[in-house]
Amino acid sequence: MLATLGFVYFRFWLKLPKKTRVLFLTSAVVYTLGAVGMEMFGGYHYSQNGFDFTYHMFALVEETLEMLGVTLFIYTLLDYFTSATNKLNFKLKNS
């Protein structure tokens, strides 16, 4: 599924400015390292030792990397929008 999505959007990604492409890729790598990489280390450690301090540190690093990846992705989107339009406006209304 991910490979199909990547194939479909590859041309779009190539047409983005270099800074945006690099930041998109960086945010994807950081998120994936947290979601998959640290999950594997934490899962292995849990299977050997159960819930201990080290397992909680693995979980902390995993969640931090995931949040950092998402935050970097949001920053990249906002940076791209502002560079494409030279402005970014938000309008909030009471409902």
User: Could you tell me if residue 33 is inside a domain?
Assistant: yes
Q: In the prediction, which pLDDT does 81 show? A: 86
Domain count, the chain: 1
pLDDT of residue 63 exceeding 70, the answer is yes
User: Could you tell me if residue 5 is inside a domain?
Assistant: no
Q: In the prediction, which pLDDT does 95 show? A: 67
Q: Which domain holds residue 38?
A: 13-83
Q: In the prediction, which pLDDT does 84 show? A: 79
User: Could you tell me if residue 79 is inside a domain?
Assistant: yes
User: Could you tell me if residue 92 is inside a domain?
Assistant: no
User: Could you tell me if residue 89 is inside a domain?
Assistant: no
Question: Which residue type sits at 89?
Answer: N
Q: What share of the chain is helix, strand, coil (3-state, %, to 5)?
A: 85, 0, 15
pTM equals 0.80
Q: How far apart are CA 72 and CA 54, in angstroms?
A: 27
Q: What is the pLDDT of residues 2-58, one digit of tens each?
A: 788 878 888 888 888 999 999 999 999 999 999 998 889 988 988 999 889 998 999
User: Tokens at residue 60, please?
Assistant: 């902390």
User: Could you tell me if residue 65 is inside a domain?
Assistant: yes
For 68-72, what is the mean pLDDT? 96
